[in-house]
Structure 1
Amino acid sequence: MTNSLERLQKVIAQSGVTSRRKAERLIEEGQVKVNDKVVTELGTKVSPNDKIEVNGVQLEKELPVYYLLYKPRGVISSVSDDKGRKVVTDFFPEVTERIFPVGRLDYDSSGLLLMTNDGEFANLLMHPKHGVEKIYVAKIKGIPSKEDLKKLLKGVKDKGDVLKVIRYKVISTDRQKNTMILELTLKEGKNRHVRRMMDQLGYPVTKLKRERYGLLTLEGMNAGDVRPLSPKEVKQMRALATNNA
């Protein structure tokens, strides 16, 4: 939160409790209090000094923070794990804010992962209608025909989902090892999207890395590295998602 007045639903969304739309519904339903008084007006503005409760639980006030993590393989995209495996928040020992990942990367996948405590920002980037591009590099078993590669654009059905890419590029082919490396661009990322899509076509993924998210890349970073996003990058990512809506 900034020192200026902000709309109540925006503050609730930024806290990570819920999306802005659901926050608006909670306000209208009388589930939100400001300074111990029930507020039902959506235009209500609040300051950082106001006490805000949602369903009886007080919001903890934190300044929004934004980080880029180069997630290594063998790390869970979660804030905790009941099996004691390494999680993405383990790479932020000095960060006191309650950050969480924007979306997920599989345990066996690596690459660019955003971390923040700004729920509104996270929901904005993850919502399918905003279509923020994500670029992956996948190493697969087998060498697909041109017809199979075209199916990536048309869409592949799996468990009720239609999985597709908006662009693909063949980076290299190794006929001796019977493998191919593909660059895949997605606008919508369903659970295990790339792996499920390639499995359905009969070309299982052996290695997967997210190299770009919107305007952000892993340039100059190694696996396990972390860097904060600049205010300009945050603004650009927010504008990119908003303009795509």
Structure 2
Amino acid sequence: MRLDKFLVDCGLGSRSQVKTYLKKKQVTVNGQVETSPKTQIDEKKDQIAYQGQELTHETFVYYLLNKPKGVISATEDARHKTVLDLLDETARHKQVFPVGRLDIDTHGLLLLTNNGDLAHAMLSPRKHVDKIYQAKVAGVMDEADMQAFEKGIELKDHTCQPAKLEILSVDQAARTSTVQITIAEGKFHQVKRMVAACGKEVTDLQRLSMGSLVLPDDLEIGTWRRLTQEELDGLSVFGIPLA
């Protein structure tokens, strides 16, 4: 691999920026200053450092975002802020994308990566990756709704796979409910449409988990962090190379 490509992949900047760092003798290869961007290096064996800080080459990157409302699950949009706007420059350089989508008014856990094979596996209907949501509902959900979810809600254009509805709390006076819904699909507006089919309306929707990934309690809305090694280990069940 060319040295300048390695430096760009590590998120140091554009090709022109890293060439400037090389000219300023701020980059070393195996302890020796290197100024040529064309220098060939072995990213797995050679030690590359910038201003004395050793760099590690990453093929794939993984971001866990607590998506806020008002932001769309896309990489670019002319009218709205996107989830990519909330991440760092490395994410944009690595061309990460959201694994699945959350509606603009839905908040919660969203995984972004540039690992297309992993994204495909996690979204494949054959993998049956559970997604858990917490919803605030206008209307009182009851045992009949739970049975309907378990049987499989029928929509106009789709019969949903059996899902799990748990009633967390009910306010009879206000005629509202808080529920937890587990689905293995991810059809357009599916949770909202399933609740609507029961004669109620979702007023707030948050995704709590997707497969083994769980929304951390300490991850503030609108903030992100890289996946931990433990979380990456949990994704190894898909049999996809993660590094």
Would you call these one fold, judging by a TM-score over 0.5? yes
Q: For 1:10-25, what aligned pairs fall within 5 Å after superposition?
A: none
Aligned to 2:52: none
Task: Determine the C-alpha separation between the residues in 1 that align with 2:116 and 2:158.
Answer: 26
2:75 is paired with a residue of what secondary structure? coil
Deviations 1:136-158 (A, max 9, x none): 00111111231122101111121
The alignment partner of 1:191 has SS state of coil
164 and 174 in structure 1: CA distance in 2 versus 1, 3 angstrom threshold: farther
2:66 alignment counterpart: 70
Name 1:187's counterpart in structure 2: 184
* Residues 195 and 205 in structure 1, CA contact (< 8 A), matched pair in contact too: yes
1:178 & 1:151 partners in 2: Cα distance? 20
Q: Which residue of 2 aligns with 1:28?
A: none
Higher Rg? 2
Aligned position for 1:236: 234
Q: Confirm or deny: 8 A CA contact 2:66 2:221 kept in the other structure.
A: yes
Contact 1:165 1:185 in 2 (8 A): no
Q: Report the Cα offset of residue 165 of structure 1.
A: 4.8
1:226 aligned partner:
224
Deviation of 1:234 (Å): 2.2
Structure 1 counterpart of 2:164: 167
2:126 pairs, out of 115, 124, 129, with 129
Q: How does 1:79-228 map to 2 (within 5 A)?
A: 79-83=75-79, 85-95=80-90, 96-219=93-216, 220-228=218-226
| Preserved contact between residue 135 and residue 205 of structure 2 (Cα < 8 Å) | yes
Instruction: Indicate the residue corresponding to 2:16 in structure 1.
Output: none
Contact 1:124 1:238 in 2 (8 A): no
Whole-angstrom CA distance in 1 between matches of 2:61 and 2:99: 12
- 4+ runs deviating over 4 angstroms: none
- Computed over aligned residues only, the root mean square deviation of the Cα atoms, in angstroms, reads 2.3
AA of the residue aligned to 1:162: T
Q: Distance in 2 between the 1:237 and 1:157 partners?
A: 32
Stretches of structure 2 lacking an aligned partner (at least 5 in a row) = 1-41, 44-56
Q: Report sequence identity in percent.
A: 37
Residues 111 and 210, structure 1, Cα contact 8 Å, conserved in 2: yes
Q: Return the TM-score normalized by structure 2.
A: 0.70
Q: Note if contact 2:130-2:183 (Cα within 8 Å) is conserved in structure 1.
A: yes
> Would you say how many aligned residue pairs link Structure 1 and Structure 2?
184
